[in-house]
Amino acid sequence: MKNEPGQELWSIPSGVAELNERVEGAVKKEAKEETGMTIKVERLLTTIDRIIKDGEGRVRFHYVIIDNLARPFKGTLGASTNAEEAKWIRLDDIRNLLATTILVSLIDEAKRRCWLGTTAS
């Protein structure tokens, strides 16, 4: 999906958990909002810290990214209001897209750890 904050870059659905919202609920909500699909969350893949500093080296933002393996089970893939485009791609083709560094790192790590096969369907 092409969406904020990596505008013009491909990424996976993401968002913010609301106060008192469990991670699995937030994952399902964001997937539905951004792709139109209902998903089944299978398991946690990894967590990533993204720390952004200002010009003087002070921390401005600290994002904790929680990536889960999920499978679609209802709906048709389509872009939402906050995404320009949504489509299925082969994992091996990720390097042919302008993707966020976090997405490329996640796919590389997933393949190294055999979390995923070489294709997405």
The domain spans of the chain are 23-43+69-109
Instruction: Kindly state the percentage of the chain with pLDDT values over 70.
Output: 86
| pLDDT the model gives residue 104 | 83
pLDDT, tens only, 70-102: 999 999 898 876 778 888 888 778 888 888 888
pTM for the predicted model, two decimal places: 0.76
Determine which of 3-17, 30-44, 79-93, 100-114 has the lowest per-residue pLDDT on average.
Answer: 3-17
According to DSSP H, which parts of 45-114 are helical?
101-112
